[in-house]
Structure 1
């Protein structure tokens, strides 16, 4: 029988490519008009500035802006009134960078500037990223046992509830609480602290961060005039780490509800053979349940008759001397 899994896998790839194309078309349709509008405003601003300052050549202005934007991309402010909290590589800011890097959020602000810093970042991340994801995954599994498996087991035994209904009800409650605690309520806090963020912007930041997309268009603690920025960044690091554990829990709950393993098996090559092998190991044939007899002993007993060795006692025939 010819397997249809390669065909299903090809359809899955084509569906994903189609999904990418649709997303690209929608983003292009939504964002390109705003990009054109901003470009026109920049052109007008450029022309007005050169008209106001005729002594400044366009080449010098272009060179200055290129260098200023390059410095800004490294997280260094181009303004001259730099205060202490705008330093990007103090200990707290460096801790914020390591946290966002090892969790693969990666806002890109700031980034290592020196060659030694870039090399260390490579070596540090090679070990640190798997280590971080392992710690978060283990923490999520332990919390799943405490928040899902154990309560469901207790309620199923003591209250005699239907297990399937209990799983769905419990999942709905846990998912609602996690979304409330790590998305909707933190968005209110970020809106109040950041000042120039709207609620949708703050909710967008929470989602982009906890899904480890980390576009870097919204970075907490970068606004001037914030009170206790060091403490604020430490709290943001704690929020990101705990929030990632919550996202892991959400993913595991959704996978168990939707039975994703069965869906994945539709596209995996050789999955049918593995399933049959597992069934054979779990349900062995009837003959294998008989008492085990070593093959070498059985062969030796069959090949060597009783009469070959007269010194041994024979229990298969009557001993003449006994009579």
Structure 2
């Protein structure tokens, strides 16, 4: 009996369960370290360029004041603050026809709702009125889970048609090991999805957006489909854009289809690497079955249960059959007395 208890205590699953808090702490520390490394790299790469731009702005400021001595520095500073404040709401301050284009027409509003509900959120434009902000709040509470659920369901359906059925057909016709076939097929499928979602659209955006290089366009595609949406690159904002309404509608379609492709890639990687088993290492209670097993280990055995009323349903199941209240007792011995 002692050896059995000792072997149960040394079971690998019980050791993993006891170390889950430690695994979670290591995961948390790894994430903090990842954040620190990212901050250090960005600071190293971007701060020199920030200093260059700051010096260039200072030179432009001084040159402008020298060329226009009638304008005081205080008035110019106040004017620029107001201009930048208005620009932060997505309203152009340039005095030309394209610059004063309407930002909240129907197509632009549709572009805003699509980028908001997909959590991309370029921030150009943003609601200005209080009523618009309140409506955006309640609209997004319902719309964001609805949109993400729709994209996830679409990805799951595509997973069946693009992976499960083709692999099943290939297994019937070819003499391949299933694990090897899944790795090869999934790698090819992820490569095709990446090509269709990132690299080919980047070529199209590079052609349409004249001031975007290919790296800029590829950066926009990744930042958008990863739902980061920094807003430094927004399609259809240049002056003289041909058919801007149609262009924005096509961009909306690209974002929705691209996000489905990203969801599909995530599902493919999860199934390929068995991510659920890895995630379970960091969960205190990974699933219902495991939690039930762990709770069952903490319960006392049947012999250690105290005597309780025989009318209790739980106790009735634990007592021997002869002690059931539905059966006649042929002796005077109380079954609760040892």
TM over 0.5: yes
CA distance in 2, matches of 1:214, 1:233: 16
Corresponding position: 1:69 with 2:84: yes
Aligned to 1:21, which of 36, 53, 70?
36
Larger Rg: 1
1:1-323 counterparts in 2 under 5 A? 1=9, 3-83=18-98, 86-271=101-286, 274-275=289-290, 277=292, 299=324, 303=328
Q: 1:131 to 1:227 in 2, by over 3 A?
A: same
Contact 2:115 2:121 in 1 (8 A): yes
| Deviations 1:185-220, CA, capped at 9 Å, x for gaps | 000000000001000000000000000000000000
- Following the alignment from structure 1 to structure 2, what is the Cα–Cα distance between the partners of residues 207 and 236? 14
Q: What are the ranges of 5 or more consecutive residues in structure 2 without an aligned counterpart?
A: 1-8, 10-14, 295-319, 331-338
Q: Structure 1 301/216 Cα, relative in aligned 2: closer, same or farther at 3 Å? A: closer
> How far 1:225 sits from its partner (Å)?
1.0
Rounded to whole Å, the distance in 1 between the matches of 2:267 and 2:55 is 47
Provide the C-alpha distance between the structure 1 equivalents of 2:104 and 2:288, rounded to a whole number of angstroms: 55
The 3 A distance-change label for structure 1 pair 165 and 41 is: same
Give the Cα–Cα distance (whole angstroms) in 2 for the partners of residues 98 and 303 of structure 1.
72
Report if aligned partners of 1:85, 1:229 keep a CA contact under 8 Å in 2.
no
Q: CA deviation at 1:79?
A: 1.1
CA pair 62-277 structure 1, distance change in 2 beyond 3 A: same
* C-alpha displacement of 1:278: 7.1
Distance change >3 Å, CA 229–CA 276, structure 1 → 2? closer
What's the CA shift for 1:59? 0.6
Distance 1:129 1:14, change over 3 A: same
Aligned pair count reads 292
Shift of 1:298: 9.8
Question: Is there any run of 5+ residues in structure 1 with no aligned partner, and where?
Answer: 280-294, 306-323
- The 3-state SS of whatever aligns with 1:113 is coil
Q: Report deviation, 1:235.
A: 0.2
Deviates more, 1:140-149 or 1:295-304: 295-304
Q: Deviations over 1:83-103 (max 9, x none)?
A: 388211111000000000000
Preserved CA contact (<8 Å) 1:6 1:269: yes
Distance between the aligned counterparts of 1:84 and 1:58, measured in 2?
26
Deviation at 1:158, TM superposition (A): 3.5
Q: Deviations over 1:237-295 (max 9, x none)?
A: 0000000000000001011111111111111113488437479xxxxxxxxxxxxxxx9
